[in-house]
Structure 1
Amino acid sequence: MEILILLVVAAVLLFAVKEIRRSLISRPMFGFFKRVLPPLSATEREAMTAGDVWWDAELFSGRPDWHQFLQQKPPQFTEEEQAFIDNQLETLLAMLDDFNIVQQDRDLPEAVWNYIRKEKFFAMIIGKEFGGLAFSPAANSHIVSRIATRSISAAVTVMVPNSLGPGELLTHYGTEAQKNYWLPRLADGTDIPCFALTAPEAGSDAGAIPDSGVLCKGEHDGKEVLGIRLNWDKRYITLAPVATVLGLAFKLYDPDGLLGDQKAIGITCALIPTDHPGVETGERHFPLNQAFMNGTTYGKDVFIPLDWVIGGKDYVGKGWKMLMECLSAGRGISLPALATATGHVTQRMTGAYAYVRQQFGLPIGKFEGVQEAMGRIGGTNYSIESMRRLTVAALCEGKSPSVITAMTKYHMTEMGRQVMEDAMDIHAGKGIQLGPKNYLGHGYMATPVSITVEGANILTRNLMIFGQGATRCHPYVLKEMDAAANPDEEQGLRDFDALLIKHIGFAAGNFFSSVWMGLTGARFNASPISGSTARYYQQLTRMSRALALTADVAMLVMGGDLKRKEMLSARLGDVLSHLYMASAVLKRYEDDGRQSTDLVFVDYALQHHLHAIGEAFRGFFANFPNRFMAWTLRLAIFPLGIRYAKPADALYQGIADAMMEPGKARDRQTFLCYWKDDANDMLGHMELAFVKMKQHEALYKRLQKAEKRGEIAPDLAGSELADAALAAEVITAEEAEHLVEVEQLRLAAIAVDQFAPGTLENKTFA
């Protein structure tokens, strides 16, 4: 007993007496922390600290405040935004014929270009004081998503000037003179912008761009001025072939010390008219059979005045930070909007096609193999739309959550790829044969575009999400890194000591809480609501605590090596991402008023995300190099095993049935999908056939029974089916007329396009 008392007293003295603690614990830990601290380059640090933290920090803390989370207002439109959506947007959508745009003209029609410029589709993020629309991120996302359901090429054309580009950079960093000159011209369509960042040997590693500028004096407008002599070679630049003003990122050097002692100043951004002497617009790319303008630009020994740098002299060398801060917002809108469009189109059209396309006398959507793919489409689309809304809500609050937008870009584009592949499997030949009736083909080919740009997905998942999240979202790590980097070592030690004692308490609390939640199945965790989704909140809190504990141990044990163990850090990033996506699903369900018809989608999504979290932890524990710590963590977090299962078969079937049922629930979940009530429209013909067949569902069931009784021959279609059924007195004359109409729509809906010899080759034959 005396020994136990002595141990307790020693522990109290060790931690409570500052001088003892600092000497015996904090100083050695401070030295260890400085040794294992992952080295950060200047560009890495700027990328790491760009943007804000938001709900991601709550999830990483292990103590998410669900009550506060659910009180967040969902994104809403202003009256002006709604009027634009109801009028200008609908007019533009009606003008788009994607088959002609992509397969024939390889460009938007001149009338569409003119309309986009006239109605300021390029100016959604530009302030009203400069003639722009000043729309919210919610309106921006909605407009781009809805255009993308009609034409990816048109959507990309609209989204680029409203994402990372001259308009946004000028708005945030431009001088008053730059704003007053350029923003009104961009707003009214006088100028079309592009932004050139990617080079032949610098893609996602944009910090490695070789393009350079040297400070020097030269002549401009007949006067000698201080300026920059530029050399660049850029590719993959959207709108470059038609741009009148070029935003350019390059590395700036000052060998003669014209601005100071620093020779290598750093990445800088400038704005250059494309008709400026020496600026060359190169040849056009052809990105996976898409018609949006994309190409090259280059220049050799091009002199520009210094005041063409965005932000002027004060912003030379700050281009990387500018780009990272702007990218963290735009990345959460543009490419996720394309993925959202994919989800809405595939859910609505696949549900319709699976009912219209019949086999063995049944809609193919009644076969379990097809239902499995349909379940993935509907359940995944629910997550896609939920994630879009939650991320847009953060942006509407003025936040720029860089980790969240990285998660959004990566996972939404990957989920878009998944639903598109499932839709193509179900549509089979109809999805393969290109033509005006094919509403999937161009989207399928465009999917890798979203996967690749604004940071390749491999890089985003393996380096950015956890790499940035572990420092930005953790309550102590970034502050500890700052303390360790303090040139005043004693002050750094004092700061580190104050943080360390809190960090130790944080880690200990996470350890014991994880054990308790694992043993009890988190049943004693608080939930902000009651009902069928309450258990999901409890489990997500448990997994949040598990992530906080595991991340701490991983960073402590591996230090800087964790940065290079990309597959391990990616798995922890997956845990954070699926926690965020699951949160988004729960938030949407509450915001929509807990619609009972949505519950099957919610259950699928939550069970999928929890299972993915479990698999990510399983893979992490199996591959963590310190086997003792891996075993200890797994035992602490999952003492009864990892028991999150994939969604049950019944959920897949329930979603498939819901996708084949017209009504408010289907409309609510696919509201972004655009079509015309016209049998000649690429989506409209399928929608019309589906609705008509559902209206005559009882008639078709009667025909099926007549076939089984042998009253009419099997495998009849169209007018032959109507004639046979009428002759057998299975249907009336009036019903026969309706049947002929519906059969014509059905057969046209499952048909594919075909072209006369020479048509596709632009040849004519005698």
Structure 2
Amino acid sequence: MFSALMKWMQANKILPQISDTERQALEAGSVWIDGQFFAGQADFAKILAEPYGQLTAEEQAFIDGPCEELLAMFNRYDIQRTKRIPDEVFEFVKKNGFMSFLIPKQYGGLQFSTLAISTIMAKLSAYNGAVGTFVVIPNSLGAAELIKHYGTQQQKDDYLPKLATGEYVPCFGLTEPTAGSDAASIKAEGLVFRDSDGELKLKLNFRKRYITLAPLANLATIACRVHDPDNLLGKGEDVGITCVLLHKGTPGFSNGDHHDPIGDPFYNGPLIGKDVVVPVGNIIGGADYAGQGWRMLMEQLAGGRMVSLPAGAIGNARVAAAMTGAYSTVRQQFGISIGQMEGIEDKVGKMAALSYMLEGARIFGCTAVDNGIQPPVVSSVMKAYTTEIGRQLVTDGMDVFSGAGVMQGPNNILGAMYKSAPVSITVEGANIMTRTLMIFGQGATRCHPYALNVVHAVENSDVPKFRKNLLGWIGHFIGGLFRAEWHFLTRGAFVKVPDVAPETRKYYKRLGWTAARYGVLTDLAMFAIGGKLKARGKLTGRYADALAWQILALGALRRYEAEGRKTEDLPLVQYACEYALAQVQDAYVGIYQNFDGPMGAWMKTVGVFEARLNPVGAMPKDDLSVRAARTIQHYTPQYERLAANVFMPKNEEFGMARLFKAFKLVSATQTAYDTVAKAQRARKLPRGYTPADIADEAVKAGVISAEQAQALKDAQAARLAAIEVDAFKPEQYFAEVTPADGIEYKMAVNS
């Protein structure tokens, strides 16, 4: 019976069909907390036992020292205008080890933790994209990381010390005109041949684009498909995807041209190779690793997606929240700080809570990588959802800054990151593809307790293994149905929760309820839709949404526990969890409404009705957004903690410095401000004026002291300076177009 069933499943492609490249992706990395959601059983005691890291004293000293010094040494607006990083900045980066975070100390590197690398990237990239990417690329997927893990001993000895000092500036050439998110479709070719000197070599032909640091790089890693028609490597004619080191100046290799990325400018451009000849020894790992490039990339991307792009997005979100909270206090309309208006309050509260949540998820995920876990599904969630949420939060900040947000110049605080947000959405796999193909498409098979074993059994016609795992899956599904229905009827009241803060227990219970439902819905998708899931991107995108927001909510809860259950942070945790569960609820309703197959009719009627009748979440209530907003609308120790590692320039020529100064002064004088305002309402002082305008009269009336009056005046002066925007003289504003500019433009279009 099982043999016949297996043959029927093979013939009708009931299970997902897995290509060789997909197989390598599925086998790469680790199943982490994501496996508990696909199984429908969240073990919160086990999840909370997972480490939540801290920086070492050495790492924190680097952030407080060289990082601060680096960011203070350049004018970011000048870089925006000129698109050039000053030479002295390049030299500082190289001299102080900013390109060596990944590299072991024995090769001259700093050998920082993943958490430290992420924290540094978040700080740098949020202040300036050009300088940030010059540090990010050498410390993410590329030459140093691949050589460290897979290189021959000679490659490690030759390259790692020079990468550590910046003598080699690396870039990684993967993306092509016809291969972006579908990286397995690369057309770059490496042809194996024996040269006249008897040495085995590769002839490379490629055209790469969107390659960050390509214009500056003197060492490129090229991903290409190697062909060996004479089987000189002993691996057949089609060897497969391979990573090859290529030096600047090699005949036939050209780099140096620039793309012009939107927003904050950074060095990015094409790599072109025509009949470029290099020794086979330039393959990372040597000839033995020819054809292993895709596996190498999948293994490293599993952790890499957890690091650089989430760091940049979360750094932006943190800066946006900190500065928007400050601006909403400093900026006044109708005689009050705009942050007291409910519309503004709603935006600020959301920014404070979701940036808190994202930071918790970042630390939790990076700590997992530091502990040897390479979770591809969670990494994909982090990449796709932190960049998207980060974009939303920066947009919310722009709404609050309003005119001050859209007028460009040295005073503009959020404009560059607002314009740059689409960049992080597109790289290392466009978010649309990550959401609709990778997260659930990979996770449903990889993270499920039985699915991958069943797929392997069917592929290998292994009847005993098929019988064992299919029966296990059926039993698992039936148990999951009862568990999900029980939690639905009791709203998770009987979900097992360990010793956590009493105020947050209800969120664990609701997450346990949602996890049980997620497991059942995963099984239904595998049973009813099966091999057609790849084509159902809209549906699998909703599955990805449900998973992502459960994981992100855990980020907030895990942070709250790890940081000692700080009661002043409770509004942030509550808002984040309510918001996340509302997104999970929307995702589940969307799944029910669009589920096809044998269960489709029931799902679209009874399923939708039950989901709406007994929702797992709803958007945060108004009073919660007020309390969340207040956490970043006053300069307090809590604000300092939430804004930790946000670079605050000291030079008051820049808008951030002036805003921060005004924020501190306004916060410090709030009591005197309220005292004068109360006296005005009691008609002891003239109405219609700001407290600073009548400070001297308030002193005469005995309402405040002379020191308080001066402090009010200083705060008012700082407030007015902080809300100024830039104005340019005509000769500063207009640029002349020369004939040479026109020629270059035509050449760019025609190339």
* TM-score normalised according to structure 1 size: 0.92
- Tell me which amino acid in the other structure corresponds to 2:585: G
Correspondence list, 1:406-417, <5 A: 406-417=380-391
- Tell me which amino acid in the other structure corresponds to 1:496: F
**1:523 maps to 2:501:** no
Alignment counterpart, residue 218 of structure 1, candidates 189, 195, 202: 195
1:13 matched residue in structure 2:
none
Q: How far, CA to CA, are the matches of 2:572 and 2:33 in structure 1?
A: 23
**1:288 maps to 2:265:** no
**1:618 maps to 2:589:** yes
2:375 matched residue in structure 1:
401
**1:102 maps to 2:80:** yes
2:578 matched residue in structure 1:
607
2:442 matched residue in structure 1:
468
Q: How far, CA to CA, are the matches of 1:647 and 1:738 in structure 2?
A: 37
* Alignment CA distance shift 1:300-1:522 (3 Å): same
2:522 matched residue in structure 1:
551
* Alignment CA distance shift 1:254-1:663 (3 Å): same
Q: How far, CA to CA, are the matches of 1:734 and 1:570 in structure 2?
A: 59
- Is the contact between residue 40 and residue 517 of structure 2 (CA under 8 Å) also seen in structure 1? yes
- Is the contact between residue 189 and residue 226 of structure 2 (CA under 8 Å) also seen in structure 1? yes
- Tell me which amino acid in the other structure corresponds to 2:730: P
- Is the contact between residue 215 and residue 258 of structure 1 (CA under 8 Å) also seen in structure 2? yes
- Tell me which amino acid in the other structure corresponds to 1:254: D
Displacement after TM superposition at 1:379 (Å): 1.5
1:452 matched residue in structure 2:
426
Displacement after TM superposition at 1:38 (Å): 2.1
* Alignment CA distance shift 1:244-1:371 (3 Å): same
* Alignment CA distance shift 1:741-1:635 (3 Å): closer
**Higher mean Cα deviation, 631-640 or 735-744?**
631-640
Q: Deviations over 1:639-683 (max 9, x none)?
A: 953352111111111112222122122122221211034433432
Alignment counterpart, residue 541 of structure 2, candidates 567, 570, 573: 570
Displacement after TM superposition at 1:438 (Å): 1.2
- Tell me which amino acid in the other structure corresponds to 1:572: Y
- Is the contact between residue 108 and residue 291 of structure 1 (CA under 8 Å) also seen in structure 2? no
2:17 matched residue in structure 1:
39
Q: Deviations over 1:549-568 (max 9, x none)?
A: 11111111111111111111
Alignment counterpart, residue 648 of structure 2, candidates 650, 671, 675: 675
**1:248 maps to 2:222:** yes
- Is the contact between residue 30 and residue 493 of structure 1 (CA under 8 Å) also seen in structure 2? no
**1:345 maps to 2:319:** yes
- Is the contact between residue 351 and residue 660 of structure 1 (CA under 8 Å) also seen in structure 2? yes
**1:89 maps to 2:63:** no
**SS of equivalent residue, structure 2 residue 727:** coil
2:469 matched residue in structure 1:
499
1:663 matched residue in structure 2:
636
- Is the contact between residue 263 and residue 417 of structure 2 (CA under 8 Å) also seen in structure 1? no
Q: How far, CA to CA, are the matches of 1:97 and 1:343 in structure 2?
A: 21
Alignment counterpart, residue 557 of structure 2, candidates 569, 586, 605: 586
1:302 matched residue in structure 2:
276
Q: In the comparison of the two structures, how many residue pairs are matched? A: 732
Q: How far, CA to CA, are the matches of 2:731 and 2:649 in structure 1?
A: 30
**1:641 maps to 2:620:** no
**1:651 maps to 2:624:** yes
**1:189 maps to 2:169:** no
* Alignment CA distance shift 1:79-1:724 (3 Å): closer
Q: How far, CA to CA, are the matches of 1:180 and 1:399 in structure 2?
A: 27
Alignment counterpart, residue 59 of structure 1, candidates 34, 37, 40: 37
2:114 matched residue in structure 1:
137
Q: How far, CA to CA, are the matches of 1:650 and 1:761 in structure 2?
A: 48
Alignment counterpart, residue 167 of structure 1, candidates 137, 144, 151: 144
2:740 matched residue in structure 1:
none
2:744 matched residue in structure 1:
none
Q: How far, CA to CA, are the matches of 1:156 and 1:259 in structure 2?
A: 37
* Identity percentage of aligned residues: 39
Displacement after TM superposition at 1:254 (Å): 1.5
- Is the contact between residue 696 and residue 709 of structure 2 (CA under 8 Å) also seen in structure 1? yes
Q: How far, CA to CA, are the matches of 1:701 and 1:501 in structure 2?
A: 70
- Tell me which amino acid in the other structure corresponds to 1:130: Y
- Tell me which amino acid in the other structure corresponds to 1:75: G
Q: How far, CA to CA, are the matches of 2:611 and 2:40 in structure 1?
A: 16
- Is the contact between residue 546 and residue 637 of structure 1 (CA under 8 Å) also seen in structure 2? no
2:659 matched residue in structure 1:
686
2:185 matched residue in structure 1:
208
Q: How far, CA to CA, are the matches of 1:373 and 1:662 in structure 2?
A: 18
Alignment counterpart, residue 753 of structure 1, candidates 719, 726, 736: 726
Q: How far, CA to CA, are the matches of 1:448 and 1:31 in structure 2?
A: 45
**SS of equivalent residue, structure 2 residue 257:** strand
Q: Deviations over 1:188-240 (max 9, x none)?
A: 11111111111122211111222112111236xxx442111111111111111
1:18 matched residue in structure 2:
none
* Alignment CA distance shift 1:679-1:343 (3 Å): same
1:422 matched residue in structure 2:
396
* Alignment CA distance shift 1:65-1:682 (3 Å): same
- Tell me which amino acid in the other structure corresponds to 1:213: G
1:118 matched residue in structure 2:
95
Q: How far, CA to CA, are the matches of 2:313 and 2:95 in structure 1?
A: 27
**Higher mean Cα deviation, 61-70 or 175-184?**
61-70
Q: How far, CA to CA, are the matches of 2:57 and 2:642 in structure 1?
A: 23
2:741 matched residue in structure 1:
none
- Tell me which amino acid in the other structure corresponds to 2:18: L
Displacement after TM superposition at 1:477 (Å): 0.4
- Tell me which amino acid in the other structure corresponds to 2:28: A
Q: How far, CA to CA, are the matches of 1:140 and 1:266 in structure 2?
A: 32
Displacement after TM superposition at 1:77 (Å): 2.2
Q: What is the RMSD of the two structures over their aligned residues, measured on CA atoms?
A: 2.3
**1:271 maps to 2:245:** yes
Q: Deviations over 1:1-49 (max 9, x none)?
A: xxxxxxxxxxxxxxxxxxxxxx2x5642563266312222212222222
**Higher mean Cα deviation, 520-529 or 81-90?**
81-90
Highest Rg: 1 or 2? 1
**Higher mean Cα deviation, 281-290 or 154-163?**
281-290
Displacement after TM superposition at 1:637 (Å): 7.5
Q: How far, CA to CA, are the matches of 1:127 and 1:380 in structure 2?
A: 35
- 5+ residue gaps, structure 1, are 1-22
- Is the contact between residue 329 and residue 337 of structure 2 (CA under 8 Å) also seen in structure 1? yes
- Is the contact between residue 329 and residue 634 of structure 2 (CA under 8 Å) also seen in structure 1? no
**SS of equivalent residue, structure 2 residue 380:** helix
Q: Deviations over 1:422-450 (max 9, x none)?
A: 00000001111111111111111111111
* TM-score normalised according to structure 2 size: 0.93
- Tell me which amino acid in the other structure corresponds to 1:432: V
* Alignment CA distance shift 1:301-1:678 (3 Å): closer
- 5+ residue gaps, structure 2, are 737-751
Q: How far, CA to CA, are the matches of 2:74 and 2:96 in structure 1?
A: 15
**SS of equivalent residue, structure 1 residue 344:** helix
- Is the contact between residue 361 and residue 704 of structure 1 (CA under 8 Å) also seen in structure 2? no
Q: How far, CA to CA, are the matches of 1:713 and 1:517 in structure 2?
A: 58
Alignment counterpart, residue 177 of structure 1, candidates 139, 150, 154: 154
2:748 matched residue in structure 1:
none
Displacement after TM superposition at 1:717 (Å): 9.5
Correspondence list, 1:322-401, <5 A: 322-401=296-375
- Is the contact between residue 353 and residue 576 of structure 2 (CA under 8 Å) also seen in structure 1? yes
Displacement after TM superposition at 1:259 (Å): 2.6
Runs of 4+ in structure 1 deviating by more than 4 angstroms, as ranges, are 635-640, 705-713, 715-718, 720-736
Q: How far, CA to CA, are the matches of 2:275 and 2:592 in structure 1?
A: 55
**Higher mean Cα deviation, 529-538 or 555-564?**
529-538
Displacement after TM superposition at 1:415 (Å): 0.8
**Higher mean Cα deviation, 422-431 or 224-233?**
224-233
Q: How far, CA to CA, are the matches of 2:224 and 2:312 in structure 1?
A: 29
2:668 matched residue in structure 1:
695
- Tell me which amino acid in the other structure corresponds to 1:143: I
